[in-house]
Amino acid sequence: MEREEKSNTGYLKELTKGFIRENPIFVLCLGLCPTLAVSNLVENAFGMGIAFFFVLLCSNITISLVQKLIPDEVRIPCFIVIIASFVTVASLLMQWFIPDVYARMSLYINLIVVNCIILGRAEAFASKNNVFRSMLDAIGMGIGFTAGLFIISAIREVTGFGTFLGFRLIPENIKPITIMILAPGAFFTIGFLMALFNLIRIKKGKVSK
Amino acid sequence: MTLGQIIALFMGSVFVQNFIFSRFLGLCPYVGVSKDTPSAMGMGFAVVFVMTTASAVTWILYRYILIPFDLTYLKIVAFILVIASFVQFVEMFLKKTFPALHRSLGIYLPLITTNCAVLGVAFLNITQFESESYGFAKSTLQGFFAGIGFMLAMLIMSGIREKLEYAEIPESMKGLAIVFVTAGLISIAFLGFSGFKL
Amino acid sequence: MLKDKHLTVTVSPHIKTALTTEKMMWIVSCALVPAAGAGIYFFGFHAALVITVCVVSSLLTEFLCTLLMKKPATIKDGSAFLTGLLLALCLPPELPLWMCALGGFFSIAVTKFAFGGLGYNIFNPALAGRAFLMGAFAKEMTTWKTLQVFPDGITAATPLNLLKEQGYDSLMKVFDSHSHLFRELFIGRVGGSIGETSAGLLIIGGLILLFARIITWHIPVSYIFTVMVISYFTGGVFGIPFHLFSGGLVLGAFFMATDPVTSPITPKGQIIFGIGCGILTMLIRIRGGYPEGVCYAILLMNSVTPLIERYSKTKIFGVKR
């Protein structure tokens, strides 16, 4: 959350930094609760990703638009109210369009409101930058988050169910490793993916030296 | 409310569906503040306190304001505002009346506003106990026990992390990676409680 | 790394006797041989295959991990062999072999080497491997080889399973008398994991460890005593020998809970550890979803071991804190 974005880099960098370099899940380690809770199925992960993307984009745009109007002392409560309103919208829309996915994860959709990534981007980026930059930032972070969620959920669904988006990948007679869709599987998946990210970073660091 | 129900609530929220190891709520403070036992303890106490009282407050708000005025769709906004202002109020109250307690808990209180465990238990309460009898008592107790479960998880992890300080953990596993693998192993052990019945 | 041996300080447990890690591991493995032999004798050839696959996969994983992490090869110290053996002994005798291999891999790679290798692991590797397999393949892990003749189509397999799912009466139907049941449990001619059924041989193995001073009495005695007390109050006089000899209690109390790396060092801490294991074991056996709780109880106590150590530190007299 304390991360400050002061670099005047190009717009493209604003967009792509969320993909890997500042990936919200694996590098910034923010917003982990929904990441782990809804990543047992790829379908759930997409639902979460879309809702998250929507809220992040709308709140980033809105906050960068109204930043001048909000007194500094009450900015956090104001941000929270703005975010909470968009979460309500997202949750009502999901309830209407994809009721079965929503029913499975309504708790975690509602909890987007306290997702540290969104408040973090609002505080660290959108409240200091113009609308266009904030929009790019939101898109980049949203893609980074959704992609991270997608990777975790793909690993868990394939190993834990033997399916991908409901299609059977691994033949029935090979038993899936059920624990991967239970709670421990989520912790292991994210733990070892973080280790992989670290490994890549260490390797890169050695090369550049 | 019978003693059996209370024990069932206790086992359910502390062990069977521990907020950290089974519901994944409150992970950010969990990995952030579990580096050493004293701060884990401080955060734990603060969370127990806020979760209990916030459960009570949000249940009353939902049952006696949002439902009668048909405003339930505003629950997200209403709850987060109540919790945020409540935490603020608690902080001010502690500062005035128990400065010693405030000094030890103070730094954790602002973090709790964005702790999804607090908001999570509020949402869980209203979905689980909305139309049940003793809803208020059950919600408050669930908040309290969930907080205890959170504190237990914090203490376990902080003890392990203090021990891991001396371990020769591989370079790539250092930091949060090993914390998550440890959490996975603890949650495997917690699977032993699944299917618990009285 | 410091090259001077006298200046290198490592984490506890510090070895103070001539007993090296290597020697210790092999003595423990030898103490397990009778029970493993009985398992193969009772359950047949597939049990031997399970043991072999678990041991080989543990050794192989150990070798690959030390190679990848560029650590000194520790494959010869016997710890991986022991882990594989212990894991096999708490698996059902007819588990598919690739699952055994996966369990061995998990035990060594995730529970041990992710934390830095022998001496740094928080959880007992063999038990973590078993709990992992239990979560991963619940059905295969609870498919037991039946050794008794079951009247009236009763098909539950281990005595604990039978007690949990069908109640006391059906247990008596299968074993017609208490003395018959206790005799079979003591010898090990009942359904169960490969090495956990023969309580008698395991007690002999445990006594070897005690006399070889590899373990102290604190954990096994406090663990077993707690289980006995609770089983007396929940199941009467009949409960004591039943809970004592069935399931993995003896194996767990002597061979798993006493793992020096994952249990407390101080005697006081060890007794707390044993009592905690006993309470959790009986809690899961009586109220939990699984018929057997030894594995989870020890893992849970492993996770609080650092806390027990923290609060059971020996006080230094004359120093105010």
Window 48-67 of B: residues touching A by CB (8 A cutoff) are none
CB-nearest to C115 from B162, B169, B186 is B169
Distance CA(C197)–CA(C148), nearest Å, equals: 13
What Rg value do the Cα atoms of chain B yield, rounded?
18
Distance CA(B9)–CA(B21), nearest Å, equals: 17
What proportions of chain B, in percent to the nearest 5, are helix, strand and coil?
80, 0, 20
Q: What ipTM, to 2 d.p.? A: 0.89
Question: What string of pLDDT tens digits covers the 321 residues of chain C?
Answer: 444 555 555 665 555 555 678 888 889 999 999 999 998 988 888 999 999 999 999 999 999 998 888 888 777 788 899 999 999 999 998 899 999 999 999 999 999 999 988 888 999 999 999 999 999 998 888 888 776 655 554 455 688 877 777 777 777 777 777 888 888 888 888 888 888 888 889 999 999 999 988 889 999 999 999 999 999 988 777 788 888 888 889 999 999 999 888 999 889 999 999 999 999 999 998 888 888 889 999 999 999 999 998 888 766 666 554
Contact at CB, B172 and A179, closer than 8 angstroms: no
Contact at CB, A178 and C140, closer than 8 angstroms: no
CB B144 within 8 A of CB B115: no
Cα distances from C223 to residues C237, C243, C252, in angstroms, run 18, 12, 9
CB-nearest to A178 from C96, C102, C138 is C138
Neighbours of B99 (CB within 10 A): 10
pLDDT at position B141, please? 92
Flag whether residue A199 sits within 8 Å of chain B, measured between CB atoms: yes
CB A24 within 8 A of CB A30: yes
Q: In this structure, what are the phi and psi dihedrals at residue A114, rounded to the nearest 5 degrees?
A: -100, 15
- Give the DSSP per-residue string, A116-163: HHHHHHIIIIITTS-HHHHHHHHHHHHHHHHHHHHHHHHHHHHHHHSE
Cα distances from C91 to residues A8, B122, B189, C51, C140, in angstroms, run 60, 42, 17, 9, 10
Flag whether residue A110 sits within 8 Å of chain B, measured between CB atoms: yes
Give C110 or A209, the one with higher predicted confidence: C110
User: Which helix (H) or strand (E) segment is C228 a member of?
Assistant: helix C218-245
- Tens of pLDDT along C182-236? 888 888 888 888 888 888 899 999 999 999 888 899 999 999 999 999 999 887 7
**Closest alpha carbon to C265 in C321, C319, C224, C312:** C312
Q: How far is C13 from chain A (nearest CA, A)?
A: 28
DSSP, collapsed to helix, strand or coil, labels residue A168 as strand
DSSP, collapsed to helix, strand or coil, labels residue A190 as helix
Contact at CB, C289 and B196, closer than 8 angstroms: yes
Residue % of chain A over a pLDDT of 70: 94
Cα torsion through C81, C83, C85, C89, rounded to 10:
180
pLDDT at position B105, please? 67
In this prediction, residue B157 has a pLDDT band, given cuts at 50, 70 and 90, of very high
Beta bridge mates, A164: A167
How many A/C residue pairs have CB atoms within 8 Å?
A: 19
In chain B, residues with a C-beta closer than 8 Å to the C-beta of C135 are 188, 191
Q: Which of B21, B36, B152, B163 to mutate to test the interface with C (most CBs of C within 10 A)?
A: B163
CB C190 within 8 A of CB C158: yes
**Residues C198-228, buried b or exposed e (16+ Cβ, 10 A)?**
bbbbbbebbebbbeeebbeebbbebbbebbb
pLDDT at position C5, please? 54
Flag whether residue B160 sits within 8 Å of chain A, measured between CB atoms: no
pLDDT at position C131, please? 94
Looking from the CA of C210 toward its CB, the CA atoms found within 13 Å total: 13
Q: Provide the CA A162 distance to its chain's centre, in angstroms.
A: 25
Distance CA(C54)–CA(C84), nearest Å, equals: 5
Find tokens 């003591």 and name the residue. Answer: C186
Distance CA(A60)–CA(A80), nearest Å, equals: 12
**Phi-psi region at C105: left, alpha or beta (left = phi > 0; alpha = psi -120 to 50):** alpha
In chain C, residues with a C-beta closer than 8 Å to the C-beta of B162 are 306, 310
CB C21 within 8 A of CB C79: yes
- Give the DSSP per-residue string, B184-196: HHHHHHHGGGTT-
Cα distances from C74 to residues B71, C20, C113, in angstroms, run 65, 13, 11
Tokens of C137: 């393949």
Give A27 or C149, the one with higher predicted confidence: A27
Contact at CB, B181 and A192, closer than 8 angstroms: yes
Distance CA(B198)–CA(C4), nearest Å, equals: 59
- Provide the H-helix boundaries in C76-198: 79-89, 97-105, 125-136, 138-141, 159-166, 168-175, 178-187
CB A142 within 8 A of CB A56: yes
pLDDT at position C98, please? 93
**Closest alpha carbon to C275 in C240, C311, C321, C229:** C229
pLDDT at position A6, please? 46
Angle (CA) C260-C53-A188 rounded to 5° is: 60
Cα distances from C140 to residues A177, C38, C47, C96, C146, in angstroms, run 11, 22, 14, 8, 14
- Tens of pLDDT along A152-194? 999 999 998 888 877 888 887 788 888 988 899 999 999 999 8
**Closest alpha carbon to B120 in B103, B101, B143, B99:** B143
Window 104-133 of C: residues touching A by CB (8 A cutoff) are 110, 132
Neighbours of A68 (CB within 10 A): 7
Distance CA(A59)–CA(A135), nearest Å, equals: 10
Tokens of C47: 């049990």
In this prediction, residue B133 has a pLDDT band, given cuts at 50, 70 and 90, of confident
Q: How far is B63 from chain C (nearest CA, A)?
A: 35
In chain B, residues with a C-beta closer than 8 Å to the C-beta of C303 are 156, 160, 185-186, 189
Contact at CB, B160 and C289, closer than 8 angstroms: no
Flag whether residue A30 sits within 8 Å of chain B, measured between CB atoms: yes
**Closest alpha carbon to A194 in B170, C264, B118:** B170
CB A114 within 8 A of CB B80: yes
Distance CA(A113)–CA(B91), nearest Å, equals: 22
Beta bridge mates, A168: A163
Tokens of A197: 């990210």
Beta-carbon contacts of A192 under 8 Å, excluding residues fewer than 6 positions away, are B177, B181
What proportions of chain A, in percent to the nearest 5, are helix, strand and coil?
70, 0, 25
Contact at CB, C114 and B169, closer than 8 angstroms: yes
How many A/B residue pairs have CB atoms within 8 Å?
A: 122
Distance CA(A82)–CA(A57), nearest Å, equals: 12
pLDDT at position B106, please? 64
- Tens of pLDDT along C146-196? 766 555 544 556 888 777 777 777 777 777 778 888 888 888 888 888 888
Contact at CB, C284 and B181, closer than 8 angstroms: no
Contact at CB, A175 and C99, closer than 8 angstroms: yes
Distance CA(B168)–CA(B171), nearest Å, equals: 9
Closest CA in chain C for residue A181: C136
Q: Which chains touch B (3 or more CB pairs under 8 A)?
A: A, C
Angle (CA) A191-A192-A196 rounded to 5° is: 125
In chain B, residues with a C-beta closer than 8 Å to the C-beta of C297 are 192
Q: How far is A10 from chain B (nearest CA, A)?
A: 31
Find tokens 């290798």 and name the residue. Answer: C117
Asked whether the CA dihedral B19, B20, B24, B25 is positive or negative, the reply is: positive
Find tokens 């009495």 and name the residue. Answer: C217
Window 95-114 of B: residues touching A by CB (8 A cutoff) are 113-114
CB C142 within 8 A of CB C193: no
In chain B, residues with a C-beta closer than 8 Å to the C-beta of C287 are 196-198
How many B/C residue pairs have CB atoms within 8 Å?
A: 97
Flag whether residue C289 sits within 8 Å of chain A, measured between CB atoms: no
Cα distances from C119 to residues B148, C263, C302, in angstroms, run 31, 11, 13
Contact at CB, C299 and B167, closer than 8 angstroms: no
Beta-carbon contacts of C139 under 8 Å, excluding residues fewer than 6 positions away, are none
